[in-house]
Structure 1
Amino acid sequence: MWSKLHMLCAQDKKATAEKIQKFLTQAPQNCLTDRTELGNTALHFAALHRRKRVALILLEKQANPLAENMKGETPVHWCCQNGTPSIVKVLIRGINDLDDVLDKGGNTPLHWAAETGNLPVVQLLLNQGASPIPRNYQWETPSEHCDDEITLQCLADAAASFTF
């Protein structure tokens, strides 16, 4: 069931960060863990809509960037698919091993970023220590999810210099 917080975070640019901040001062703490029918949290929607200020507010209130929906997808996955490096940095802060953040298909955030050719996020994840060659449960690497030539070259260069 969608909560008011879900709706506020899903409305791209319509609900200001200040409005969400005000709502959270009056809402119960557990509203951050409320989930839709598919298991998505408010932070999933802030990540999807690239709402950095909203994500910061939710994280300050202890929202979990690794909360999984029914497909095992986290706000980090959603943000890496279409987000910008600045919001991805906010969401991955404090995550020690990005290769351990897996959806139910075994895809890492790097798989998600590579699939959409999100080069700036691919570069950020690699610089933050993500392995360029993790394999999902289908034994596919991020490169096998990518059609963008520049992103593919970035992944190939990272794989060539990667040491175990």
Structure 2
Amino acid sequence: MGVEANRTEHNPIAADPEYVEALLEAARYNDFDHVKTIDALGVPLDSKDEQGRTALHMASANGNVEIVNYLISNKVDVNSSNVENNTPLHWACLNGHTEVVKILILAGANVSSLNRHERTPVDEAAIGGKMYVIDAINTAVAQVELTNASV
């Protein structure tokens, strides 16, 4: 049994949908202090609501860089998908948040994951006419490839 499972098992707050909703709302509205407070209460940072959304989905969709970095540093799943199979990267691309796009890719987000409409995050940026997001994706992917290249 992992630490996270143990943390949740003995903490009734951790499973309370109201606290999960509060976490997602704090991430959505860039309330970093509230995110940290909810985390301190023992609510898992990768908790999902009934639509499968996580705090990382909400922070990514709204370009909340500080919260995205906090969540990633606390080991949330950067490839978590909601009920539509959208990942945080899909939402960051759709909404044009290039800094978040770069952060997610450097943290291991899959640029090829398909949502229920069989669209990748790149497709979401292209459909929205956000070519600058595609440039950010290409830059981040190249950086990952260079970092992982053996010399």
Aligned to 2:137: 155
Change (3 A) 1:141 1:162: farther
Within a 5 Å distance, the mapping from 1:7-26 to structure 2 comes to none
TM, length-normalised to structure 1: 0.70
In the alignment of these two chains, the number of paired residues is 133
Match of 1:74 among 50, 54, 67: 54
> Aligned residues: percent identity?
25
Offset of 1:53 from its aligned partner? 1.2
- Quick one: which amino acid aligns to residue 61 of structure 2? Q
Aligned to 1:129: 108
CA RMSD across the alignment: 2.5
* Paired residues of 1:84 and 1:120 also in contact (CA < 8 A): no
TM, length-normalised to structure 2: 0.75
Aligned to 1:25: none
Aligned to 1:106: 85
Q: Once the two structures are superposed, what CA deviation does each residue of 1:73-117 show, in whole Å capped at 9, x if it has no partner?
A: 111111110032111111222336522x01011111100111100
Aligned to 2:28: 48
- Quick one: which amino acid aligns to residue 61 of structure 1? L
Change (3 A) 1:95 1:115: same
What CA distance in whole angstroms lies between the structure 1 residues aligned with 2:141 and 2:118?
16
Unaligned runs of 5+ residues in structure 2 are 1-10, 146-151
- Pick the structure with more helix per residue: 2
SS in 1 for 2:17: coil
Change (3 A) 1:154 1:86: same
Aligned to 2:149: none
* Paired residues of 1:114 and 1:143 also in contact (CA < 8 A): yes
Q: Once the two structures are superposed, what CA deviation does each residue of 1:101-157 show, in whole Å capped at 9, x if it has no partner?
A: 010111111001111001111011111121222222322100111232211212234
Unaligned runs of 5+ residues in structure 1 are 1-28
What CA distance in whole angstroms lies between the structure 2 residues aligned with 1:74 and 1:96?
9
Change (3 A) 1:137 1:108: same
* Paired residues of 1:97 and 1:129 also in contact (CA < 8 A): no
What CA distance in whole angstroms lies between the structure 1 residues aligned with 2:114 and 2:144?
15
Aligned to 2:68: 88
Offset of 1:33 from its aligned partner? 3.5
What CA distance in whole angstroms lies between the structure 1 residues aligned with 2:117 and 2:14?
33
Change (3 A) 1:85 1:62: same
